[in-house]
Structure 1
């Protein structure tokens, strides 16, 4: 999703960085972006669970 948005609006971000790393076979950068997106997803899930308890 982020690669598509970054391509449409001509932005340079983590989605494009991960895509270019995959195309260029730059594995450390590719796995770093995957780790970062996974970590962000986990943190958002944890935050939503905590907010559900408060509401």
Structure 2
């Protein structure tokens, strides 16, 4: 079985993204902000082809 995509909802968007990049070697993608829904996301791409994203508040104040 292989995991191809995952999404995590996090209160501290940048800290979670940095954790996966530092400890699992994920390449960091650009920040995407959806103002209509009040959410931001940061993408992560792993060497085995898995893609993930961390989703949270654009300002890091709430989830």
- When Rg is computed on C-alpha atoms for both structures, the one with the higher figure is 1
**Do both share a fold (TM > 0.5)?**
no
TM-score (norm 1): 0.28
Which structure exhibits the higher relative contact order, with contacts defined as CA atoms closer than 8 Å and separated by 6 or more residues?
2
Higher strand fraction (1 or 2): 2
The structure carrying a bigger helix percent of its residues is: 1
Provide the TM-score with structure 2 as the length reference: 0.25
